[in-house]
Structure 1
Amino acid sequence: MITFFGALIFLILGYIFYSKFVERVFGINDQQPTPAYTKRDNFDFIPMPWWKGNLIQLLNIAGLGPIYGAIMGALYGPVAFIWIVIGCIFAGAVHDYFSGMLSLRNNGAQFPTIVGKYLGKFVKSGIYVISIVLMLLVAAAFTAGPAQLIAQLTPLTFTMAILIIFGYFLLVTLLPVNQIIGRFYPFFGGILLFMAISIAIALIFSDRQIPNLTLENLHPEGLPLWPLLMVTISCGAISGFHCTQSPIVACTMKKESDGRKIFYGAMITEGVLTLIWAAAGMAFFHGTIGLSEALAIGGPSYVVNEISTSLLGTLGGILAVVGVIMLPITTGDTALRSSRMILTELLSKFFNMNGKLKVLAVTLLLATPAFYMATIDYTFLWRYVGWTNQLVATVMLWTATMYLLQENKFHWITGIPALFMTAVVTNYLFYAPEGLNMDYRLSLIIGGFLTLVVLVWYINKIVKFRKLNNMGINENVA
C-alpha cells in the first residue's frame, strides 16, 4: 500500500504548495469585478459561493470518468498511480485552473473564444467544431450507459430511458444555472466523494492488498504503456472536457481568489477519487489478470457493482446504482449546456440570440445529433471520446502558454505539459485502432517528429515574445 498512500500524500501536497505557485504566476486580483456581477442575467451569470462552485465543477468534470477510467487504467498496474499524481498536479489541475481563470478574465468567454484570442482565428475555427463534437459525444456516451441500466432494472425500454434522460437534459439546459445545477449538484458531488471515501476505508481494512510499484509489475504484458495509459486515465489526470465545463462555473464566481479552490481543488479531488478506484480495481480482483477477467464478464459497471456491494453491502449496491445512473447524467447535461453556450456565443456574432425561444432552438439543434449518437454502441463512442478529449486538453494548454508568454510570465508551467500532451495525442492518433492503426514503432517515429516540429514552433514563440518584451511591446499572439 506504500505506493498508494505515497501517491495520495503527493496529491494533497500538490494542492497545498503547487496550486499556490500556479496562482501567483497567474496573478489574481480580487478588486476586479467578476462576470457574475458585471454580466449578471440570472441565467448563466449569477454569483454562487465557492464551495458550491467546487462541488459543481467536480461533478461536471467527473461523472463516471474517475471511476470507469480508473478501473480501465488499473489494468496497467501500480504505474497508473504515478500517472495520476504527475498528470493531475502538473497538467490536469493547471489546465483546469487556466481554463477557468482565462474564461473569468475574458467576461465568461467559452473555450473556443479564448483559443482564438491566444492561438489565432484558424485554430479557433477548428476548435469550435472539435469542442462541440466532443460535447455531443460525451452527452451521448453518458446517456447510453445509464439508459442501459435503467432498462435492465425497470420495465422501461432502452429507447424510453433515453427519451426520459434527454427530457431531463433539455430541462436543466433551459433553466437558470442556480435552479437545478446550483441546488442539487453539490449534493450529488457529495455522494461521489462519500462513495469513494467509503470504498477506500473498506478496502484498507479488508484482507485485500493494494499492490506497490515494482520492476516486476511496471509494465503488464500486452499493454503498451505509452501513450495508451495517458488516454485511458484522462479525467483523473488531464482531460480536455474540463476546459469546456470550467466557463460554466467561471460565470458564477464571486472573486478571483476562489479559482484555486474551485478549479485546481476540484481536479485534485478528482485525482484522489481516481486513485481510490484504481486501487480498488487492482486490489479487489487480486491484480490486473483478475481485473481483466472481471471486465470481460460485464465491463466497468459490473466491476463497480462487485466492488461496491462486496465492500459496502446493501449501501454499496445502492450507491453503485445511483452512481452509474446519476453521475453520467449530471455530466451529460452540463456537456449539452456548455455546447449550447459555445454555439450561442458563435451565433451571437451573426444573430441576436436573446430570448428563451432561441436558447431552446439552439439546444434542440444540438440535442438531436446527441440523441442519435446515444443509440450507437457505448464502447464505440467512448473510443472516439478519448483522443478528441486529449486533443482539446493539448490546445487548452498551448492557449494558456501563449497567454503567459504574452504577459511575460513563467510559461513553463503550461508549456512543458502542453509539449508532453502533444506527444501523447500525435502518437495515439497514428497507433490507436480508432486512429490510423499504424505499426507501433512507426507511430512513435512520426509522433516524435511532429512533437519536435511543435517544439521548434514553441521556441520561436519564446524568442519572439522575449524580443517584444525587451522592447516594451505587448503583442497579442493572434
Structure 2
Amino acid sequence: MNTLVIVLISAVCLLCGYMVYGRWLAKTWGIDPKAKTPAYTHEDGQDYVPTNGWIVFSHQFSSIAGAGPVTGAIQAAAFGWVPVLLWILVGGIFFGAVTDFGALYASVKNEGKSMGLLIEKYIGKTGKRLFLIFCWLFTLIVIAAFADMVAGTFNAYTVKDGVTEMAAAAQTNGAAGSISIAFIVFAMVFGVLQKKLNLEGKGEFFVGLACTVASLAIGMAFPLIGGKNAWTGFTFAYIFFASVLPMWLLKQPRDYMTTFMFAGMILGAVVGIVVAHPNMNLPMYTGFTNEKLGNMFPILFVTVACGAVSGFHSLVSSGTSSKTVENEKDMLKVGYGAMVLESLLAVLALCVAGAAAAADGTAAVGTPFQIFSSGVAGLLEMFGLPIYVAQCFMTMCVSALALTSLDAVARIGRMSFQELFSVDDMENAEGWRKFLCNKYVSTIITLAFGYILTRVGYSNIWPLFGSANQLLSALVLITLCVFLKVTGRQNKTLIVPCVIMLCVTFTALVQRTLALVNAFSAGTAVFMVEGLQLIVAILLMVLGVIIVVTSGKELLNKKAGSEARV
C-alpha cells in the first residue's frame, strides 16, 4: 500500500477526532473562558506563570513527544503495520488524548494540583503516597534511560576491541551536541526577550525562529567532539537547571524553539512522502504471536505506548502545563491537540520504517531511531539539502525528542519528591521535612538516584518500563473517573478506556512475572537482571491493585455530584 494514502487517512482521522470528539468532551465537561486559571491565582514567577496558549502547546508537545512514538511504532510493526496503525488512531483519539486532556482539565479546575494531589483529594492519602512513590521511581528510570540516550547520541567515540577510536559519525554527533548547547543559550535569551518586551504573535514567532536557526547554524559550524562521560555530565547539569529555573526562562522558550525543529522534521517527512510516495513494504499482519515480542495482546499496546496512550503525558499535563495555561479555552489544543499530533508522528515513523524495508517485507537493519532518522534525512536530501546538514538536523531532532522529555521528567520528579514529604502547612514546616522539600535539595536527590541508575545499569529493569507507563495511564484514568463523577460531570466515556488499560497492564505484568519465574526454574536467570525485574513486576502489581481497589471503592460509593463543581 502507498504510504501517502496511509498518512492522509490518518491525518483526516486524527483531525476529525480533535474537531468532533475533543470538542464534544470540552463542551460536555464545561470550559469557562472567563475563569481565572491557576497560572493567575497562584502566580509565583517560577512554576505558575500565565503563558500564551501556543507556548504552552509547544511545551506540552515537546515534553510528551519523546522517544516513545518513534521507537514504539517501529518495534510493534513486527506484528504487521495494520494493527499498529489501528491502535495508534483508536488509542490516540479515544485513550491517549482523553487522558492527557482529562488530566490537564482536572488539574486546572483544582488550582493546578498535580495528579498525586488530585488523588489525595478525591481518593485518599494512602492512594496519594503510593502513587507519588510509584511516580518518583518511574521518573528515575526515565531520567536514567533518556540521559544515557542523549549522551550516546552526542558521543564522538566508539570502543572496538578494547581500543577507543573516533566514531564514523563523530562530526555529526558533535554538531548535535553543539546545537543543544546553543539551544540552551538562545532559549534563555529568547525567554528574557519574551518577558521584557512582552512578545506575542508574529514577534514571538519570528524571534523564536531566528533563535532556532542561529542555534542550528552555530552548532553545525562548531561541532564539539566529546566522549559519553562528558556528555552525561553535561546532560545532568542541564536538567538540574531546567528543573529549578523559572519556566519562562529556560524550559518554555526551549520547548518553543524545539517545536520549530519538530515541525521541520514532520513537514519534511510529510512532503517527502507526498513527493516520493513510497510503498509500505512491511507486511500488513504477521500473526497474533511474535517470536521475539510475544502475544499481540497485550504486547502491542504496551510497545506502541506514547504513540497511542502514555501515563507519563498526564504527569506533564497536571505537573507543568496546568500551571501555565492562561485561559481554559487553551486546554483542548494543549491537552488533546498535542496528543493527536504525537499520534501523527507515530504514523510517520511507521511509514518511514515501512518505506525503508526491503520489497520482500524484511525490516531495515538498525535501531528504530537509526531507521527513522536515516529515512527522514534521505527524504530531506531529495530537496537539495546537503546530506551532512540533513544528518545533523535529524540527529539533533532525535536527541531533542529525548532531551525535552528529560528536562520535563526531571522537573516532575523533583515536584513528586516534594509532594511526597510536604504537608498542608509547609510555610511553618521545620526540620527534615522543610529540608527535603527544598527545590534544590529535592532536585539533587532525584538526579543523584537517576545518575546512579545510569551507571549501574537501568537496562536491567527497562523491559518493565512499558508496563509501568501503561499502569500509570490506567491509574490516571480511574482517578479522572472519580473526579468527573463526584463533580457531576459525565465520566462514562472514560470507563471503557480505563478497564481496557487495566486489563492490558495486569496481563502484561502477569505474563512477564510467569516468564521470569520459569527462567529461575530453568536455572537460566541472573539475579541482577531477571531477579530485579521479578521484584519490580511484583511491586508494580501490588501497588496497582491497592490503588485500583481504593479508587474503585470511591468510584462505586461516592454519589454523582456529591462534591462542589469546580
Alignment TM class, shorter chain as reference: 0.7 to 0.9
CA distance in 2, matches of 1:200, 1:51: 22
1:141 aligns with 2:213: no
**Letter matched to residue 251 of structure 2:** I
CA distance in 1, matches of 2:50, 2:453: 35
Give the 3 Å change call, closer, same or farther, for CA 452–375 of structure 1 in structure 2.
closer
Spell out, residue by residue over 1:137-173, the C-alpha distance to the aligned partner (whole angstroms, 9 max, x if none). 1111111011112223354222221111100111111
Determine the structure 2 residue equivalent to 1:447: none
Q: CA deviation at 1:305?
A: 3.3
**Letter matched to residue 417 of structure 1:** P
Q: Conserved in 2, the CA contact under 8 Å of 1:84 and 1:236?
A: yes
Give the 3 Å change call, closer, same or farther, for CA 189–218 of structure 1 in structure 2.
farther
* SS, match of residue 113 in structure 2: coil
CA distance in 2, matches of 1:383, 1:197: 32
1:33 aligns with 2:39: no
Say which of 5, 15, 31 aligns to 2:8.
5
CA distance in 2, matches of 1:166, 1:452: 34
Say which of 264, 269, 294 aligns to 1:199.
269
Q: How does 1:344-423 map to 2 (within 5 A)?
A: 344-349=418-423, 351=429, 358-377=438-457, 379-380=459-460, 382-423=462-503
Say which of 461, 474, 477 aligns to 2:562.
474
Say which of 245, 248, 252 aligns to 2:316.
245
Say which of 45, 57, 60 aligns to 2:60.
57
Q: How does 1:331-346 map to 2 (within 5 A)?
A: 331-346=405-420
Q: Which has the larger radius of gyration?
A: 2
Q: CA deviation at 1:3?
A: 4.4
- Out of 272-281 and 302-311, give the one that drifted further: 302-311
Determine the structure 1 residue equivalent to 2:401: 327
Q: CA deviation at 1:427?
A: 0.5
Determine the structure 1 residue equivalent to 2:525: none
CA distance in 2, matches of 1:205, 1:324: 23
- Out of 169-178 and 368-377, give the one that drifted further: 368-377
Gaps of 5+ in 2: 157-169, 175-224, 382-386, 520-543
Q: Conserved in 2, the CA contact under 8 Å of 1:11 and 1:272?
A: yes
1:172 aligns with 2:242: yes
**Letter matched to residue 33 of structure 2:** D
Say which of 244, 259, 268 aligns to 2:340.
268
Q: Conserved in 1, the CA contact under 8 Å of 2:435 and 2:441?
A: no
Give the 3 Å change call, closer, same or farther, for CA 284–200 of structure 1 in structure 2.
farther
**Letter matched to residue 428 of structure 1:** A
**Letter matched to residue 283 of structure 1:** A
Q: CA deviation at 1:124?
A: 1.7
- Out of 9-18 and 349-358, give the one that drifted further: 349-358
Percent identity, please. 24
Spell out, residue by residue over 1:294-343, the C-alpha distance to the aligned partner (whole angstroms, 9 max, x if none). 13xxx223213321332223243122210222221121111010111222
CA distance in 1, matches of 2:437, 2:125: 30
Give the 3 Å change call, closer, same or farther, for CA 48–381 of structure 1 in structure 2.
farther
Say which of 225, 232, 235 aligns to 2:303.
232
Determine the structure 1 residue equivalent to 2:362: 290
CA distance in 2, matches of 1:276, 1:70: 9
Give the 3 Å change call, closer, same or farther, for CA 455–126 of structure 1 in structure 2.
closer
Determine the structure 2 residue equivalent to 1:258: 330
Determine the structure 2 residue equivalent to 1:115: 119
CA distance in 2, matches of 1:328, 1:391: 21
- Out of 182-191 and 304-313, give the one that drifted further: 304-313
- Out of 100-109 and 44-53, give the one that drifted further: 100-109
Q: How does 1:452-463 map to 2 (within 5 A)?
A: none
Determine the structure 1 residue equivalent to 2:376: 308
Q: Give the alignment's Cα RMSD to 1 decimal.
A: 3.0
Q: How does 1:95-114 map to 2 (within 5 A)?
A: 95-114=99-118
- Out of 96-105 and 379-388, give the one that drifted further: 379-388
CA distance in 2, matches of 1:111, 1:459: 17
Give the 3 Å change call, closer, same or farther, for CA 457–106 of structure 1 in structure 2.
closer
Give the TM-score normalised by structure 1.
Answer: 0.87
Q: Conserved in 1, the CA contact under 8 Å of 2:141 and 2:458?
A: no
Give the 3 Å change call, closer, same or farther, for CA 309–99 of structure 1 in structure 2.
same
Give the 3 Å change call, closer, same or farther, for CA 126–356 of structure 1 in structure 2.
closer
CA distance in 2, matches of 1:452, 1:263: 28
Spell out, residue by residue over 1:42-86, the C-alpha distance to the aligned partner (whole angstroms, 9 max, x if none). 000110000000011001111222222222223222211100011
**Letter matched to residue 231 of structure 2:** A
Q: Conserved in 2, the CA contact under 8 Å of 1:8 and 1:272?
A: yes
CA distance in 2, matches of 1:218, 1:283: 21
Give the 3 Å change call, closer, same or farther, for CA 265–77 of structure 1 in structure 2.
same
**Letter matched to residue 234 of structure 1:** A
Q: CA deviation at 1:379?
A: 4.7
Q: How does 1:10-89 map to 2 (within 5 A)?
A: 10-78=13-81, 79-89=83-93
**Letter matched to residue 176 of structure 1:** P
Give the 3 Å change call, closer, same or farther, for CA 343–310 of structure 1 in structure 2.
same
CA distance in 2, matches of 1:37, 1:157: 44
- Out of 62-71 and 360-369, give the one that drifted further: 62-71
Q: CA deviation at 1:24?
A: 1.9
Q: Conserved in 1, the CA contact under 8 Å of 2:479 and 2:551?
A: no
Q: CA deviation at 1:433?
A: 6.7
Q: Conserved in 1, the CA contact under 8 Å of 2:281 and 2:357?
A: no
Q: How does 1:147-166 map to 2 (within 5 A)?
A: 147-152=151-156, 153=170, 154=174, 155-166=225-236
Q: CA deviation at 1:435?
A: 7.5
CA distance in 2, matches of 1:69, 1:422: 19
Determine the structure 2 residue equivalent to 1:186: 256
**Letter matched to residue 206 of structure 1:** A
Give the 3 Å change call, closer, same or farther, for CA 456–56 of structure 1 in structure 2.
closer
